[in-house]
Chains A and B, each alone.
Chain A
Amino acid sequence: MIEILDPTTEAAAPQSIAWAPRPTALDGKRVALIENTKFNSDQLLARIGDILKSEYGVAGWTMYRKHNASVPAHAEIIEEVKTSADVMVAGIGD
């Protein structure tokens, strides 16, 4: 018999970020849309923002543009969204 060692990550690193409490409804909420700079992503997000407004009653939306698609939203966006929005829509698509 021989013994071999597991090469994979067995435990996730401790989570250092506390999740913000989730809203139970979207009525009157301010929405931040995080645009990833890819072609047409702004149009898709604007459509989502409009649907959130017409069908879910959000107060309005503001779009923020990341520096580029492959990095997280930069610090200025995060700081502003903290005070100017209640919920955000972010994603990545090709």
Chain B
Amino acid sequence: MARQDRRLGRWMVLPLILLLVAVQGYPMAFAVYISAHDYRLTALNEVRWVGLEQYRGLLGNPSYWTAMRNTLVFVFGAVGLELLLGFLLAYLLWRPAPAQNLFRAILLTPMFVTPIAIGLMFRFLLNDQLGIIPAWLRTIGVEIDWFGPNLALFSLILIDVWQWTPLMVLLLLAGLEALPVEPFEAARVDGASELQMIRYLVLPLIRPVMLAAILIRMLDAFRVFEYVYAITRGGPGERTETILFHIYRVGFLYFRLGEAAAMAITLAGVIFVLVVLLFRILRRQEAIA
């Protein structure tokens, strides 16, 4: 009976698997296929096999490396800040306080706005001619060129932090609330200070949740596109050209889909390696703990 059930179960997931192959497997396989061809939308009758030529071309393509570097700076900068701020806020919201739910709801609002709208909003808020933020800063004598060559990438990181720290708070808060009460009571009885409790109890206990939160945000941050598209278009120079924006440029503005596909596949590789590394680190720390 059980075996029959299992066999029936296999048959029942088959449609789902077929669907996944059709909508995910096929495009991915096709991306691999065109990355091995000179595939340009404006010259579809000249498509030819080039093997690994596209990938070799990327090695000597400075724009590609700049975009990759910018993306990594963006991901680590944004996720790092979000983790720090998110943890602090979650920790503050953890204890019961009056109107606690109201605070939480307000804190989560930035997440509900679509990123392209956020991008446009900050483009005007930080605009040197029209923006209210530079205008306020000027009244106290501070002149900051938010989208100048030195700050542009950092400004984009700040915008991401503004929008996505709430997600971090949400996830970490859920983790904190699921923690057992007993260790904390015991620690309090033993006279542990607040910092000691964070260091020796909270952090080790919510590490799995933290890892999940970092992973979710990291994968998301790699896809940064809207802020770049709405605000800087990759400029000044190539200071904010992120890899996804670069792929978009090559694929949909220059129509060289083969090269764009090759870049996308290397990006998938980089993300894959990072995810594996992150899991490794977590495992090892768990083993030590």
| B partners with A | no
